[in-house]
Amino acid sequence: MLKHWSVNTKELKKDPESYAIWKLEQWVNWGIGTEKIKKTDLLKYWNKIDIDEYKRKALSLALF
């Protein structure tokens, strides 16, 4: 994953849930990273991630 200039990932990694949510949001909203998103992670944090409503609709068609 690319380094995001405004986030201290060392501090964020201390809270695994917050880090996972942040990482998913970066992948979905900005396309940051070269790895594929794990479906299990996306489903686990679906109600907690902050993503655009159109991206959410498109992802929900693929997931559910």
Q: Evaluate if pTM is beyond 0.75.
A: yes
| Pairwise CA distance, residues 11 & 15, whole Å | 8
* Per-residue pLDDT, 54: 92
Query: Which SS3 state, helix, strand or coil, does residue 17 take?
Result: helix
The pLDDT value recorded for residue 29 is 83
Tens-digit pLDDT string for the chain (64 aa): 455 567 888 888 999 999 999 989 988 888 876 778 888 999 999 999 999 899 999 989 988 7
- The pLDDT score that the predictor gives to residue 49 is 93
User: Which residue ranges make up each domain of the chain?
Assistant: 34-64
Tell me how far the alpha carbon of residue 41 is from its chain's centroid: 8
The pLDDT of residue 5 is: 62
* Per-residue tokens: 49: 């991630």
